[in-house]
């Protein structure tokens, strides 16, 4: 199986490395930065154009920022789809609006190309160690066929329905993560303002009902003042914009999502867009003039 992979950013680069480690050694890659292409070449990947990827690859995979980029790469002038052969497969691992996923799938179907949408959760750390969670939409038999490929990058691969279901599930995931981070920020701010050590609060409650993967990952970062991005605020803003658009389309009430989106937008407007989404805590630090845990 020859694989094409487009999008070699904070997530895509380690995902390609894990694909190769998993035994898929015939991999063509396309990205913007020569240093990344050189690094992946050392692992066995080969740089290629859109045309080369479309013409030569049995499966094309993308890990791109948002819907416009996926549409441009696949369906734009000289896009990959114009070179793909009938019977090949497109797996989009980007987090985009599910409406856009269905639009791309329909356009590819006209060429005899199948599509799976398979967005991920876990951020850079899990992309590096190959333990991402995949939320997948596509035909059951197609998902089953390509599950071993996805499992080279992830610890969990769950089919959620047809094309678009993967990204709908990812939007639900991003709502829960964002609201958890906001609640955690408020809770640790309360502890600090009340004179209780946030670290001890974290240790006391992490094993109870309030405990979560989000808390375990983000509370230490808030307490240390570490805002190095594993998942950037600007990317979470993008995801929540898609969630709000989708919710408005289907008539789902999402007031908590709208509130946390406003906090993230405030962070973006105050030079926080490239920080980790746990930096939402800095919004509360600004309001209270305290530093959580410090």
Q: What is the pTM of this model?
A: 0.89
- CA 27, 30, 34: angle at the middle one, nearest 5? 110
- Separation CA 199–CA 126 (nearest Å): 24
Per-residue CA distances from 278 to 41, 167, 177, 184, 195 (Å) = 34, 22, 10, 9, 22
Residues annotated as catalytic are 170
Q: What domains can you pick out in the chain, each with its CATH number?
A: 3-162 (3.40.50.720), 168-288 (1.10.1040.10)
Nearest Cα residue to 101 out of 161, 46, 48? 161
Residues found in the chain: 294
| pLDDT value for 230 | 83
Per-residue CA distances from 202 to 198, 249, 264 (Å) = 6, 38, 23
pLDDT, tens digit only, all 294 positions of the chain: 999 999 999 899 999 999 999 999 999 999 999 999 999 999 999 999 999 999 999 999 999 999 999 999 999 999 999 999 999 999 999 999 999 999 999 999 999 999 999 999 988 889 999 999 999 999 999 999 999 999 999 999 999 999 999 999 999 999 999 999 999 999 999 999 999 999 999 999 999 999 999 999 999 999 999 999 988 999 999 999 999 999 998 999 999 999 999 999 999 999 999 999 999 999 999 999 999 988
- Separation CA 70–CA 90 (nearest Å): 11
């Amino acid at each position: 199986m020859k694989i094409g992979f487009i999008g070699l950013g904070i997530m895509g680069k380690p995902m390609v490395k894990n694909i190769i480690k998993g035994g898929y050694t015939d991999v063509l890659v396309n990205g913007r930065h020569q240093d990344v292409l050189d690094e992946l070449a050392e692992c066995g990947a080969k740089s290629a154009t859109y045309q080369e990827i479309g013409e030569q690859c049995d499966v094309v995979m993308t890990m791109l920022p948002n819907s416009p980029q996926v549409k441009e790469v696949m369906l734009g002038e000289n896009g990959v789809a114009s070179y793909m052969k009938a019977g090949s497969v497109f797996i989009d691992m980007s987090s985009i609006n599910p409406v856009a996923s269905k639009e791309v799938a329909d356009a590819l179907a006209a060429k005899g190309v199948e599509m799976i949408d398979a967005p991920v959760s876990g951020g850079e750390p899990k992309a590096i160690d190959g333990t991402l969670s995949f939320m997948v939409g596509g035909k059951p038999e197609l998902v089953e066929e390509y599950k071993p490929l996805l499992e080279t990058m992830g610890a969990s691969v769950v089919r959620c329905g047809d094309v678009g279901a993967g990204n709908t599930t990812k939007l639900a995931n991003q709502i829960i993560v964002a609201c958890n981070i906001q609640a955690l920020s408020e809770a640790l701010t309360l502890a600090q303002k009340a004179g209780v050590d946030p670290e001890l609060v974290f240790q006391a409650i992490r094993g109870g009902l309030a405990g979560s993967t989000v808390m375990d990952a983000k509370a230490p970062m808030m307490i240390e003042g570490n805002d190095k991005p594993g998942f950037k605020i600007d990317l979470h803003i993008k995801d929540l914009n898609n969630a709000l658009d989708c919710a408005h389309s289907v008539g789902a009430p999402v007031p908590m999502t709208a509130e946390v989106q406003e906090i993230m937008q405030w962070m973006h407007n105050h030079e926080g867009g490239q920080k980790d989404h746990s930096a939402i805590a800095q919004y509360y630090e600004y309001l209270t003039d305290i530093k959580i845990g410090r």
